[in-house]
């Protein structure tokens, strides 16, 4: 019997598998396809990502460094409002490569990581869970003390455990152009209903274009308008769901959710890599597979860490739907140097940000 079966080997699942294996637990991690494929997430991440990687990862995966963002209320030629730091704000990375690197770290720690194994069902008993998965040679059932659902926004583990869905699932679209662009600013367009569109320079790797909005908001049409505005040809289109708003509970009798399955994401950007891996660390630290009561400690720990950030992120997102004249006034008043951390909205009230704001008036 395994201590943990992990469904899903994205960043959150790989991180938990690694940390649990390092703690001496017997871990089986199952990924439905090839790790990192198909690509459905942006490669724009906080520079804190390197705190979770191994030796040589930055040199292998880094594509560009970003110092700020230009916000646009209209199209690409409508003028912009820059927000920036004097040091690197974020990084653009090989997103598929990151997933594979994190999975390799889990393997090196002793976790049994298997690709092309799709979790199809989970049955909870008082003393164990039975996880059914379909693999290349047929269907197998694995016994474990606990199951970790890290299998994305439409989590089968979550459904099998009868845990609630995220508050909302946005529809995201990505595509890439071959134009070389080593610019150090991303572009954010507040034109998509209740969310935004973006352009991210990836150095010699090209440019990433993306857009997200609630289902039914004619996402594909808005995305075509974005591409037409930049007058570029794109390829490698992909799409996926972006979960926003975690449910009141992400644990069951012998199961728990991490990452997108738990909607541990930033409501104002949809990004979840750092929140998911942070929560994975809380899970590995707090949960003892022989003591189901420790699931409550994980529930408390990740919420104590991230709940205020997520709540403030919801308020920031509301600004995307303000009337255009109000957006222009607000962006014009606030643009300039900032001291905000891209994963921590509470840093809006930090001394670092206050100093940056005061420096503008000198």
Tens digit of pLDDT at every position of the chain (362 positions): 999 999 999 999 999 999 999 999 999 999 999 998 877 788 999 999 999 999 999 999 999 999 999 999 976 777 899 999 989 999 999 999 999 999 999 999 999 999 999 999 999 999 999 999 999 999 999 999 999 999 999 999 999 999 999 999 999 999 999 998 889 999 999 988 889 999 999 999 999 999 999 988 789 899 999 999 999 999 888 889 999 999 999 999 999 999 999 999 999 999 999 999 999 999 999 999 999 999 999 999 999 999 999 999 999 999 999 999 999 999 998 898 888 888 888 877 666 656 555 565 55
291: Cβ contacts below 8 Å, ≥ 6 apart: none
The answer to whether 1-40+94-167+245-321 and 44-93+168-243+322-362 have equal CATH topology is no
Tell me the C-alpha to C-alpha distance, in Å, between residue 297 and each of 133, 251, 289.
Answer: 28, 10, 13
**3-state secondary structure (DSSP) of residue 100:** helix
**3-state secondary structure (DSSP) of residue 252:** coil
Q: What is the pLDDT of residue 342?
A: 83
How far apart CA 343 and CA 274 sit, in angstroms, is 8
How far apart CA 333 and CA 350 sit, in angstroms, is 19
How far apart CA 197 and CA 188 sit, in angstroms, is 6
How is the chain split into domains, by residue range? 1-40+94-167+245-321, 44-93+168-243+322-362
Q: What is the pLDDT of residue 79?
A: 80
DSSP state of 87: S
The CATH number of 44-93+168-243+322-362, from 3.30.700, 3.60.21, 3.40.33, 3.30.9, is 3.30.9
Q: 160: burial class by Cβ within 10 Å (0-12, 13-18, 19+)?
A: buried
How far apart CA 171 and CA 243 sit, in angstroms, is 9
Token digits for 25? 């637990």
**3-state secondary structure (DSSP) of residue 212:** strand
If DSSP states are collapsed to H, E and C, what string results for 125-174?
Answer: CCCCEEEEEEECCEEEEEEEEEEEECCCCCCHHHHHCCCCCCCEEEEEEE
7 CA to centre of own chain? 17
Tell me the C-alpha to C-alpha distance, in Å, between residue 59 and each of 6, 64, 322.
Answer: 29, 11, 41
Please give the sequence-ordered ranges of beta strands (E in DSSP) within the chain, or none if there are none.
2-7, 27-30, 44-46, 62-66, 68-72, 81-84, 90-93, 112-114, 118-124, 129-135, 138-149, 168-177, 185-189, 197-201, 207-213, 235-244, 255-257, 336-337
What Rg do the C-alpha atoms of the chain give, in angstroms?
A: 21
Token digits for 208? 């990433």
Question: Nearest-CA neighbor of 227 among 239, 241, 209, 240?
Answer: 209
Q: What is the pLDDT of residue 37?
A: 86
Cis before 38? omega within 30: yes
The CA-CA-CA angle for residues 251, 257, 263, to 5°, reads: 115
| CATH class of the 1-40+94-167+245-321 domain in this structure | alpha beta
Q: Are 150 and 12 in contact (CB under 8 A)?
A: yes
């Amino acid at each position: 019997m395994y201590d943990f079966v992990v469904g899903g080997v994205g960043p959150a699942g790989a991180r938990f598998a690694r940390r649990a294996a390092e703690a001496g637990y017997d871990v089986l991690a199952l990924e439905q396809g090839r790790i990192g494929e198909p690509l459905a997430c942006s490669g724009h991440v906080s520079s804190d990502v390197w705190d979770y990687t191994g030796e040589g990862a930055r040199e292998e995966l880094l594509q560009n460094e970003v110092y700020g963002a230009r916000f646009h209320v209209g199209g690409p030629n409508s003028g912009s409002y820059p927000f920036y730091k004097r040091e690197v704000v974020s990084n653009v990375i090989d997103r598929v490569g990151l997933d594979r690197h994190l999975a390799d770290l889990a393997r090196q720690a002793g976790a049994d990581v298997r690709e092309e194994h799709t979790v199809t069902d989970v049955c909870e008993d008082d003393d164990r869970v039975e996880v059914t998965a379909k693999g290349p040679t047929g269907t197998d059932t694995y016994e474990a003390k606990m199951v970790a659902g890290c299998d994305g926004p439409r989590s089968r583990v979550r459904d099998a455990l009868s845990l609630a869905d995220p508050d909302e699932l946005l529809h995201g679209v990505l595509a890439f152009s071959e134009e070389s662009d080593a610019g150090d600013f991303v572009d954010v367009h507040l034109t998509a209903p209740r969310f935004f569109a973006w352009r991210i320079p990836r150095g010699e790797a090209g440019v990433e274009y993306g857009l997200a909005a609630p289902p039914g908001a004619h996402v594909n049409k808005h995305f075509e308008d974005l591409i037409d505005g930049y007058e570029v040809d794109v390829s490698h289109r992909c799409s996926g769901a972006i979960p926003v708003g975690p449910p009141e509970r992400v644990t069951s009798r012998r199961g728990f959710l991490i990452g997108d399955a738990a909607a541990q994401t930033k409501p104002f950007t949809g990004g979840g890599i750092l929140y998911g891996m942070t929560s994975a660390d809380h899970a590995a630290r707090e949960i003892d597979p022989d003591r189901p009561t420790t699931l409550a400690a994980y529930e408390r720990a990740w919420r104590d860490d991230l709940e205020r950030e997520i709540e403030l992120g919801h308020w920031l997102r509301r600004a995307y739907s303000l009337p255009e004249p109000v957006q222009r006034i607000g962006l014009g008043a606030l643009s300039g140097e900032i001291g905000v951390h891209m994963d921590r909205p509470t840093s809006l009230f930090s001394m670092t940000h206050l100093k940056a704001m005061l420096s503008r008036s000198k």
